[in-house]
Amino acid sequence: MTSIPAFESQATLKPLSFDPAKLAGLSERLIRSHWENNYGGSVKALATVKKQLAEALANKDTPAFIYNDLKREHLLRTGSVVFHECYFDNLGGNGQAGANERKAIADAFGSFDTWETEFRRMGAGLGGGSGWVILGFNVHTRQLENYWLGDHAHGPAATLPILAMDMYEHSYQMDFGAAAAQYIDAFFQNIQWEEVARRIGSAAKA
């Protein structure tokens, strides 16, 4: 089969944009394991699945249900790669939001504190389970909102991730055991708000 862009994927991990040994309250061991094993596993799996999809599509005898099993895995692995890259890119900061991003969030939620209270509460609700908390900009409604994601497959419609917090246990168990609230505190200490501001600016132009 001729190479088709939609079925191409690189099995190359996006480098971390920060030194994982210098985060506050999150160990280098945790971050490297998360990046190499969980994110890295999805990057490699996505490349494999796309190759298998191209081969299955070229084979007219591939049953539709087999093909759709591959497409389900494609959906899951794509979500995992995208959200993990957003997550790691919004770490490595000092946790201090600047005036512009505070204003954008306060305009959407009434106050910055209201946004943070909801974001943290959603994370606490996912503790011990799996999923993501996403501050996103919905390009359809033109709103900043917090979204609950139960897994990698169900991202909010027409929404660009602005801030992503991984609440799968692999993101904190090594450092905090079952104490998800301590992980959420550490996450907030390390938010790269400059990246959040860049995403808000890009989303507003979408």
Can you give the residue range of the structural domain that contains 106? 99-205
CATH of the domain at 105: 3.55.40.20
10-residue mean pLDDT series, the chain (206 residues): 79 96 98 98 97 96 98 97 98 97 97 98 96 97 97 94 98 97 98 98 90
Please indicate, yes or no, whether residues 114 and 175 belong to a single structural domain of this protein.
Answer: yes
CB 86 within 8 A of CB 164: yes
Number of domains in the chain: 2
CATH of the domain at 62: 1.10.287
CA 85 from centroid of its chain's CA atoms: 6
Please indicate, yes or no, whether residues 106 and 59 belong to a single structural domain of this protein.
Answer: no
Please indicate, yes or no, whether residues 82 and 140 belong to a single structural domain of this protein.
Answer: no
Distance separating alpha carbons of residues 1 and 118, to the nearest angstrom: 49
Please indicate, yes or no, whether residues 79 and 160 belong to a single structural domain of this protein.
Answer: no
Please indicate, yes or no, whether residues 124 and 187 belong to a single structural domain of this protein.
Answer: yes
The two tokens of residue 118 are 């909801």
Decide if 18 is inside a domain: no
Decide if 17 is inside a domain: no
Please indicate, yes or no, whether residues 47 and 140 belong to a single structural domain of this protein.
Answer: no
Residue type, 77: R
CB 27 within 8 A of CB 175: yes
Please indicate, yes or no, whether residues 133 and 177 belong to a single structural domain of this protein.
Answer: yes
Decide if 19 is inside a domain: no
Please compute, for residue 72, the number of CA atoms within 13 A of its CA located in the half-sphere on the CB side: 7
Please indicate, yes or no, whether residues 119 and 39 belong to a single structural domain of this protein.
Answer: no
Decide if 12 is inside a domain: no
The two tokens of residue 15 are 């480098």
Please indicate, yes or no, whether residues 106 and 196 belong to a single structural domain of this protein.
Answer: yes
Least Cα distance to 127 among 173, 77, 174, 95 occurs for 173
Distance separating alpha carbons of residues 118 and 124, to the nearest angstrom: 10
Please indicate, yes or no, whether residues 124 and 76 belong to a single structural domain of this protein.
Answer: no
Please indicate, yes or no, whether residues 63 and 116 belong to a single structural domain of this protein.
Answer: no
Residue type, 172: Y
Please indicate, yes or no, whether residues 132 and 187 belong to a single structural domain of this protein.
Answer: yes
Distance separating alpha carbons of residues 52 and 46, to the nearest angstrom: 10
Decide if 5 is inside a domain: no
